[in-house]
Structure 1
């Protein structure tokens, strides 16, 4: 394909098979750089913190991922912990769902589910201070990932705002991020729909 070649249509419905084959080929290099964009966003999270927190959002993710690794969690859980708040920059009001969509094509379904729902599960710790329902997560009590999400929040998320904790640096996790985002998107052997994994080695 020649440099700068474009499709023939101005409305998608008018596109030909050749147009869409061209787009599929041209998308491959962009898809290959997904991990780079994720890592860049993490670095941006290290440049400034949300007001009031003693650490940056990057430090929070690094603490969560380090705790997961030290607990013996596997690759999917470690990367899920690292990226569980990756959506904060663009979607602060629904960052949990945004973050889940970033990782969903590349990790087990239970990890994506936990990241998607960690926001409502975290309400257990603070919602009563605002007059909200701290037990809102109970609506998911019968879901097979309920206990995983509760454990994720307790062990790795709510505890990771500690300025005295010693997380591993982003460089330590970079190869893990690259490995996960190099996977084939939506590969059933990766997603393992219906399988609920352990968070820790214990």
Structure 2
């Protein structure tokens, strides 16, 4: 009788071709692989940021990576804490794969590992940014007003004003990605969805 995959064997695979047929041993094996994969999340995010440095942000004076770095640098200069700095660095990480809803994609990437208010701001920064340009296309620049009563409204407005919309300046003194790498690794080494980190429903100051 097949006892299932040998655990600890890097070449082992599950016994099933449909998930409903999986055994406990199958899922213990997958859990081991999943844990190893999850531990590499920071590496993959940093690699994606480097790829953004090779992509032009068409029409702008800087690359996608430079925009993220500059946003994070402005946050750090303002005395923001690690959650806000990493949120600023990664707020456009979804641009390549989800240009129409990159804000939501970025928020889902960081949500398990940062405070609730940071992920909310990253998720909604796209609609808040419309204040600066939507009227040029005949769109509603005040679309963000639907969130006027939300406790994170002013945080998101300030995030966009201080860090996002201002960070397209090729002359701004911006450190390299390596400067922020330890922060990315520290955030993504946290336990996912730790209530002590997420602090659901609480809001914090954007800057020190």
Q: Deviation of residue 13 (structure 1)?
A: 1.2
- Structure 2, gaps ≥5 residues long: 1-7
RMSD between aligned alpha carbons? 0.7
1:98 aligns with 2:105: yes
Q: Secondary structure at the match of 1:85?
A: coil
Q: Deviations over 1:47-103 (max 9, x none)?
A: 121210100010000100000000000000000000000000111111000111111
Give the distance between the partners of 1:52 and 1:121, measured in 2 at CA.
21
TM, length-normalised to structure 2? 0.95
1:66 aligns with 2:73: yes
1:11 aligns with 2:18: yes
Larger Rg: 2
Size of the alignment, in residue pairs?
A: 201
1:33 aligns with 2:50: no
Aligned to 1:119: 126
- Structure 1, gaps ≥5 residues long: none
Q: Deviations over 1:167-195 (max 9, x none)?
A: 11111000000000111111111101011
Ranked by relative contact order (alpha carbons within 8 Å, sequence separation 6 or more), the top structure is: 1
Consecutive aligned runs of 4 or more in structure 1 exceeding 4 Å deviation: none
Give the distance between the partners of 2:190 and 2:173, measured in 1 at CA.
30
TM, length-normalised to structure 1? 0.98
Give the distance between the partners of 1:17 and 1:3, measured in 2 at CA.
18
Query: After the TM superposition, which residues 31-180 of structure 1 pair with which residues of structure 2 at under 5 Å, given as runs?
Result: 31-180=38-187
